Structure 1
Amino acid sequence: MSNKLNILLVDDHEVVQAGFKMLLSSYEQFDRIDTANSGEEAIQLYRKLQPDIVVMDISMPGIGGLEAIRKIVKTSPDAMILVYSIHDSAVYTERALQAGARGFINKNSAANCLAEAILSVSAGNIFLDKVQPTVNLSVRNEKENTNPSTPVELLSPKEFDVFCLLAKGLNGHEISANMCLGYKTIANYSTRIKNKLNANTTVELTHIALASGVLKV
């Protein structure tokens, strides 16, 4: 690794991209800062550019940030990935760590927290900002949770992704288009999710999402 870090910044909002790129460019520790607009593009650019660290949003159209993390880490286990997200629930943080991320910070954190987190993760540390005091740091590598504290923890990674979209009110066809998966595949996931969570309707799924912190009022 060179003295200065090359960063891949992944976010589907151009204004957010531009703001964080400008912020990071002011630090002498960082060199090249490339950007991607989706999880799919992030995977392609990671293979092409081999950045020192990826700063990844997780709520994006397409496969989303969590699946992008899984795919990058599958082929590059030593990838340094920091999640920055509007979500501040421990559920998302633990899912990100399970997927292979090395850190998680909230977009509402102080601006200098992002640079601090990047430097910490690039040094081999796990970095979490102060909004997540109850995160279980032992959850890594998509291991099955045999003693879940919430029903949502029963869901597989892909089921969790579908569950989040169902809870937001998207229907099967919308989720199919969003995740680039067939409608029947989404229908099968939906059935399994409802069975695991003992829910009969999407309204019940939304209540579970609110109770577990996946959604906020």
Structure 2
Amino acid sequence: MIRILLVDDHPVVRAGYQRLLELEGRAQVVAQAGSVDEAWAAHRHHAPDLTITDIAMPGSGGLELLRRLREADPQARVIVFSMHDSEMLAERAFDQGASGFVTKSSPPERLIDAVDSVMRGERYIDPAPWREPAHDAGGAHERLASLTQREFEIFQLIARGASAAHCAQALHLSPKTVANHQSVIKEKLGVATLAGLVHIALHCGLLVTGAVEA
């Protein structure tokens, strides 16, 4: 029996995926979580065989959870399950040690295939076509690739509407550190305003229109 930790900030979504994962009787969702901190505590308590996590959640998000899990246990198996079908986001997840990446727009069986592959020790990437713009105006993808992992996490939070204070709290950083990172991010991306950051996130498929947080 595969013991799974399921992480998503929407309880109804978690319930649906729990039914899917447990349908054939080979897996059991031993714990659920709606935030990174809840997931971190649940992982330490239950020691699941596999964690399946969304990326866009309140607070620091799935990439921060992935980083924490892999630092604590380099052998931790984590599948990122996201509504964002950006190739760059998948690359970031794998750079952080993800074992698999599946988009929520894929057929349900893709998630089951990912679980089976990862539990066999294989890496799984959703074969669905990636949403990349036909024309990368201004080299936005190349500029985003220049961000460090921490800068990318802060960029995502800011693009979703999070304040600097919220970023500091979510990532356990000081407000001054976040402010410094924010200045570097704007310089690397060649923008001067928050609106410019949001535009790049939308252009690169990292943000759904209207998906911002307070």
Q: Report the TM-score when normalising by structure 2.
A: 0.85
* Alpha-carbon distance between aligned partners in 2 of 1:69 and 1:42, rounded to the nearest angstrom: 10
Deviation at 1:38, TM superposition (A): 1.2
Deviation at 1:82, TM superposition (A): 0.4
Which residue of 153, 158, 171 corresponds with 1:166? Answer: 158
Q: Cα deviation per residue 1:132-153 (whole Å; 9 max; x = unaligned)? A: 5699xxxxxxxxxxxx961001
1:48 aligns with 2:42: no
Tell me which residue corresponds to 1:79. 76
Tell me which residue corresponds to 1:103. 100
1:182 aligns with 2:174: yes
Deviation at 1:31, TM superposition (A): 3.3
The answer (yes or no) to whether the contact 2:186–2:192 under 8 Å persists in 1 is yes
Q: Report the TM-score when normalising by structure 1.
A: 0.84
Q: Which shifted more, 106-115 or 83-92?
A: 106-115
How large is the RMSD of aligned CA atoms in angstroms? 2.1
1:67 aligns with 2:64: yes
* Alpha-carbon distance between aligned partners in 2 of 1:27 and 1:180, rounded to the nearest angstrom: 40
Where structure 2 has 5 or more consecutive residues not aligned to the other structure, the ranges are 133-139, 210-214
1:121 aligns with 2:118: yes
Change over 3 Å in CA distance of 1:71–1:174 after alignment to 2: closer
* Alpha-carbon distance between aligned partners in 2 of 1:49 and 1:168, rounded to the nearest angstrom: 31
Deviation at 1:95, TM superposition (A): 0.8
The correspondence of residues 4-43 of structure 1 with structure 2, limited to 5 A, is 4-43=1-40
Deviation at 1:178, TM superposition (A): 4.5
> What amino acid is the match of 1:188?
N
Tell me which residue corresponds to 2:137. none
Q: Cα deviation per residue 1:97-145 (whole Å; 9 max; x = unaligned)? A: 011101000112111221111111111111111225699xxxxxxxxxx
* Alpha-carbon distance between aligned partners in 1 of 2:80 and 2:173, rounded to the nearest angstrom: 24
Deviation at 1:209, TM superposition (A): 2.1
Change over 3 Å in CA distance of 1:32–1:105 after alignment to 2: closer
- Name the SS of the counterpart of 2:105 in structure 1: coil
* Alpha-carbon distance between aligned partners in 1 of 2:76 and 2:198, rounded to the nearest angstrom: 34
- Name the SS of the counterpart of 1:159 in structure 2: helix
* Alpha-carbon distance between aligned partners in 2 of 1:209 and 1:80, rounded to the nearest angstrom: 28
Change over 3 Å in CA distance of 1:169–1:44 after alignment to 2: closer
* Alpha-carbon distance between aligned partners in 2 of 1:82 and 1:55, rounded to the nearest angstrom: 5
* Alpha-carbon distance between aligned partners in 2 of 1:206 and 1:5, rounded to the nearest angstrom: 39
Deviation at 1:32, TM superposition (A): 4.5
* Alpha-carbon distance between aligned partners in 1 of 2:168 and 2:71, rounded to the nearest angstrom: 24
Number of aligned pairs? 202
4+ runs of 1 displaced by more than 6 Å? none
* Alpha-carbon distance between aligned partners in 1 of 2:141 and 2:198, rounded to the nearest angstrom: 18
Deviation at 1:185, TM superposition (A): 2.4
